[in-house]
Amino acid sequence: MDDTATVPEAPRPDRRARVRARVVTYGLVGVLVVGALAKVEVWPLTSFHLFSAVRTGTSVGLELVAVADDGSRAPVVLDPAHPVLVTTAHEFGDLPGATPADQRRMVAAWLDAAHVDPADVSAVRLERVHRLADPDGVWHEDARELVTEVRP
Amino acid sequence: MSAIVRGVDRALLAAGEASRLVEVRTLVALVIGLRLATRDWTLVADRPAVLTSNLTVMSWLPAPLPASVLVALQVAGLAAVALVVAGRAPRAGFVVAWSAYLVLTALWGSSGKVMHNDVLTVLVGLVLVLGPVPPRRGTGRVPDDARWGWPPRAALAVIAVVYLFCGVQKLRVSGISWVTSDNMRWVMLQGTSPFGDGFTHAVANLPLLPSLLAAGALLLELSAPVWLAVRVARIPFAVSVAVMHTSIWAFLGLDYSAWVLTVAAVAVPLGLPRGLRLLDVRARHVPTILGISHPARRTGTPAPTTVGV
């Protein structure tokens, strides 16, 4: 843990100080190790999976698409200038499992975050998009499938 | 094995300088203050309850909290940081600053995915919350003691474990192909560089370089405990971490500046030789940078010789 020098031995710390030091240090390190090995994700306790999976030239993502009465489609793009709302895109995958009432509330919130008037939208589709990269690393859409559809 | 454990325990409990602990607490408080000051926390109030995830230890809080509460937390946290830096009420100040930071960053990150940007600062701050605080300045030189030595070392241990497991999880999930495959090239090509796609594509498509970058990052993470165990390697580790996270920002646009600053706040003071101060926090109200302290001359008594941090 530390470099040491040839010096006279320091006074032995009192028992309470030793116990406190050990409980905090080994306790916190132990919790971090167990949390990481058990894949616990209760922030700030996390399993520290940062880019741990191998990326390839294929990718799969979820997208919301707003469909108007005339059938025209437009992607629901959450405001990139709003760092809190834009990250709620990570919750797109929760939409199919939500209750119908929550699905409508979630879709309404995302339309609002994308500055889209719900009056102009007849349905919001959650779609799974498969992409492939060409040899130069430019991504192209390969396939798209409907996951669920919500009427706001 | 038991000899190693005993050695680690002895190193943890060795006496340390009170002024070094004050330096680390002050610098980590400044990192917390910087994070508190540079975000518009009221944005959290725009996220409706239905889009607020239960991913954090703060998920019991009602959502959304009003903007006025968020601003009050920010102001309280910043005032508390000022108290720590000024040496007034350093214990209460640090607890309030860390608590405000914990709540605000937990709320900020409750959007469907665990956010790691502030995790290291929160965990290192927790060590310092739970550790003792040296007496206030003006009470003469505080003798070296195990009470002042273990909190900075525990902070080093937390940093070492966090970086180690960032590397271990890469090996557990992907194995060595995390380095040897085209993984890093594709990571870069899926990122959003602040310098534009042209920059990322140019680097990603160079032969070997992406794999070399991946190897360097993985080696740095896995060897963190070794770097941090040796005093003279701590500052080089802080520099290496800064280089790695700056490259991640340049290629992917991800901001891990809090990790860089937290590592620096702990590893740089603990990488200095005994007696060399990064901040002269003991004798003056306004910290000065990198001064040699002469405790014997100031107090008129010889400084005890102990195992230093």
B109-123 pLDDT per residue, tens = 999 899 999 999 999
Cα–Cα dist B153/B132, whole Å: 13
Nearest to B15 by CA among B153, B161, B144, B188: B144
CB B111 within 8 A of CB B53: yes
The mean per-residue pLDDT over the stretch A32-45 comes to 96
Task: Assess whether pLDDT exceeds 70 at residue A6.
Answer: no
Say yes or no to pLDDT of B167 above 90: yes
Is residue B287 predicted with pLDDT exceeding 80? Answer: no
Confidence of residue B279 (pLDDT cuts 50, 70, 90): confident
Contact B244, B227 (CB under 8 A): no
Q: What's the pLDDT at B293?
A: 46
- Residue to test with chain B: of A43, A62, A115, A139, most B Cβ within 10 A: A43
Across residues B202-220, what is the average pLDDT? 95
Cβ distance of A46 and B307 shorter than 8 Å: no
How is residue B118 annotated by DSSP? T
> Can you tell me the distance from the alpha carbon of B152 to that of A17, in angstroms, rounded to the nearest whole number?
14
pLDDT digits (tens, 9 = 90+) for A50-81: 999 999 999 999 999 999 999 999 999 999 99
Please say if the pLDDT value at position B284 is more than 90: no
Average pLDDT over residues B36-63: 95
Q: Is residue A147's pLDDT more than 90?
A: yes
Q: What is the mean pLDDT of chain B?
A: 90
In angstroms, the separation between the Cα of residue A19 and the nearest Cα of chain B is 10
Statement: residue A5 has pLDDT above 50: no
| pLDDT given for residue B275 in this prediction | 81
Identify the three-state secondary structure at position A144. Answer: strand
Question: pLDDT band at B93, cuts 50/70/90?
Answer: very high
Share of chain B above pLDDT 90, in %: 79
Percent of chain B whose pLDDT exceeds 70:
88
Domain boundaries defined on chain B: 13-135+143-295
Question: Which whole number is the average pLDDT over B30-58?
Answer: 96
* Amino acid in position A55: R
Minimal CA separation from B289 to chain A, in Å: 24
Per CB-CB distance under 8 Å, the chain A contacts of B116 are: 46, 48, 50
Closest CA to A112 of B46, B255, B124: B46
Let me know if B85 is exposed, middle or buried by CB neighbors in 10 A (0-12, 13-18, 19+): buried
Instruction: Kindly report which listed range (A5-9, A69-73, B177-181) carries the lowest average pLDDT score.
Output: A5-9
Q: What is the pLDDT of residue B289?
A: 52
* Averaged pLDDT for residues B45-50: 96
User: Which candidate in B4, B6, B9, B13 is best for mutational testing of the A interface (most A CBs within 10 A)?
Assistant: B13
What is the band of B139 on the pLDDT scale with cuts at 50, 70, 90? low
Question: What is the 8-class DSSP label of residue A71?
Answer: S
